Amino acid sequence: MIFAVLKYLTVANLLSALTVVGLSFFIDAITLAEPGNILIANTVLLWSFAYILFAPGSPSHAVQSNPAALKADASSLHTSGEADRARFKLENTNTGMLLFIAGLPSFLACLVLFLLL
């Protein structure tokens, strides 16, 4: 279990770092010469996705604004849909928390860099 979580955190950090390096070619504020900028962008990217997923697993606006469609979908599946919604909420919350934890090392590295410089 712990190995799977560490693997997830490593993959999330690597993908985020690659995305930031890719964005550095298009955004002048992110320069590869300054590691602080890369770490800040990495933290912002990870924590933005964490917030989107963690915002406590609420359904999308389209589902909230059209309860008749939600009821029709649930009746077509012959289930209330509550179990599925609870499972999706739990999965989103867990993934959001893991992404938040994945951003902590780069945030702490930012603090260390800015305190030392």
What residue spans define the domains of the chain?
2-116
Helix, strand, coil percentages for the chain (3-state, nearest 5): 80, 0, 20
Q: From the CB of residue 104, how many other CB atoms can be counted at a distance below 10 Å?
A: 13
Sign of the Cα torsion 90, 91, 95, 101 reads positive
Could you read off the pLDDT of 24-81 as tens digits, one per residue?
A: 888 887 777 778 888 888 888 888 888 887 765 555 544 555 666 666 655 555 555 6
Residue type, 56: P
Whole-angstrom distance, CA of residue 11 vs CA of residue 101? 13
Q: What is the pLDDT of residues 5-25, one digit of tens each?
A: 888 888 888 888 888 888 888
